Amino acid sequence: MKTDVKELSPSKRELVIEVPWEELGTLYTAFLKKFRSQIQLPGFRKGKVPMGIVERQYGSHAELEFVKDHFNMFYYKGLQEAKLNPIGEPDVEHIHFHKGEPLHLHLNLEILPELKLPSYKEGFKVEKPVYTVKKEDVEKQIEELRKKNAELTEKDGPADMGDYLEAEVVETDAEGNPVEGSEPETTTLVLGENPITEDRAKSLIGIQKDETRPLVFKAEHEKDENRYFNVKALKIQKLNLPEIDKEFVQTVDPELETVTQLKDKIKHELQDYLDKESEKQLDNNIREYFLGELKDFEIPETIIQGYLDDLYQDQKDQAEVSEEQFREQYHTMAHNTLKWMMVREEIIKQENLQVSEEDIQKKVDELIQKVDEKLRDVYKSYYESDNFKKTLSQEMMSDKVMDHLKSFAKVKEIKIARKG
């Protein structure tokens, strides 16, 4: 057997396999005897037709069936000879075989290309956003806590911005006639809060109990249309916010005494959250650095489509587009995800990174200790499960990879003002 390999692209190869007749003759003779055993012609018993007649009448068909019957044997032997490890099934471009002649197979294969990491150990530049909590952030959080601990009381007068409107709502046409099939629904609308934004709420300001007013949701895009509703006020309630005092503080957290302590705690928690978000963005920027450096690295389409197969199966019930559109929409994401997975695995292999059973168990024990004692037994069963430990192991390995990469990163911190 002879093989010849031609590189079509980093992930594609053309494999030509040639098997000389000297290696085929005995196999073909044995196959032809088996083939003859299935032939029945007038004047002959089944399987007793002379070989010359069989070859004369069925020669081409026998040759085709011989190739089909022995394809895998020659294919896998050819792969061994050529030292190829393809992905998926081969694309058969051409087959040539006749009795007494060599067998020629021309195949196109996809292979997993060799990944060469960029020289990241020489140091690579990457940005890290840094956020600082502002006074306004703390005040906004205080207001959210006040709303959470507020009481609603019914009011007799007209509705104002910020009031809670218990209403009967029905969709209508532009003239105010109920849309066919539309049934009135009772719901609570907060004037000035999404979806009844300040702009939309203007038509409801001043509405009285038992009064009905029109409400318009104006189209936000050209392809959309305005939507019209009739809103009947059933009850109008005012939100009574608690005073920011010691009583309020201890309602929020019984361990605190003063408003200053509450604000300090909120500031600390917000900063902790923002620091974690900053670290996530750094991780993402490191990932983007590698994807950028490896922009010409080609992931075999077979692997991408396999990934999209699984992704679509998981999300098809929620997908709002066809499978073809879904694949097109998520193709780039799948390509980048798979490329990063290969980068990650190559780093793990080169650096011999490991997560031991002891490391996993230590983390599990830490998680269990953080759970309320009354619920600990329930959570322990979950945390000790094989599925959870497998997921935890993957997360811990990802952290190890990132910690390794950060040790070579030249990080430039960019201060970013906190919005909203």
Q: Split the chain (420 residues) into runs of 10 and give each run's mean pLDDT.
A: 92 94 93 83 76 80 91 94 90 94 95 92 97 94 95 94 95 92 94 92 95 91 86 96 95 95 97 96 98 93 92 84 91 96 96 96 94 89 94 96 98 81
CATH number, span 2-111: 3.30.70.1050
User: SS3 of 224, please?
Assistant: coil
Q: Output DSSP code: residue 192.
A: B
How confident is the model at residue 233, as a pLDDT?
A: 96
| pTM for the structure as a whole | 0.72
Among residues 101, 151, 107, 87, the alpha carbon closest in space to that of 3 is found at 107
Residue ranges per structural domain of the chain: 2-111, 151-240, 274-416
Contacts of 231 (CB under 8 A, 6+ apart): 165, 167, 168, 169, 189, 204, 207, 212, 213, 214, 215
User: Any idea which residue has 């009795």 for tokens?
Assistant: 99
Q: Smallest Cα–Cα separation from 306: which of 88, 114, 91?
A: 88
322 burial (CB, 10 Å; 0-12 / 13-18 / 19+) is exposed
Give dist(CA 16, CA 19) in Å, integer.
Answer: 10
Side chain identity at residue 177, one-letter code:
N
Q: What is the bridge-based pairing of β-strands 124-131 and 103-111?
A: unpaired
Q: Looking at residue 150, what DSSP letter applies? A: -
Instruction: Give the pLDDT score at 419.
Output: 55
- For residue 223, the model assigns a pLDDT of 74
> Cα–Cα distance between 339 and 295 in angstroms, integer?
9
Q: What is the secondary structure of 352-363 as a DSSP string?
A: T----HHHHHHH
Structure token digits, residue 417: 């003002």
Spatial contact of 131 and 278, defined as CB atoms under 8 Å apart = yes
Per-residue tokens: 95: 């087959």
Domain 274-416 fold: Trigger factor, domain 2 (1.10.3120)
> Residue 229: in which H helix or E strand, if any?
strand 227-240
102: three-class secondary structure by DSSP: coil
Give strand ranges (E) for 132-211.
Answer: 151-154, 164-172, 185-190
Structurally, at CATH architecture level, domain 151-240 sits in: Roll (3.10)
Q: What is the pLDDT of residue 10?
A: 83
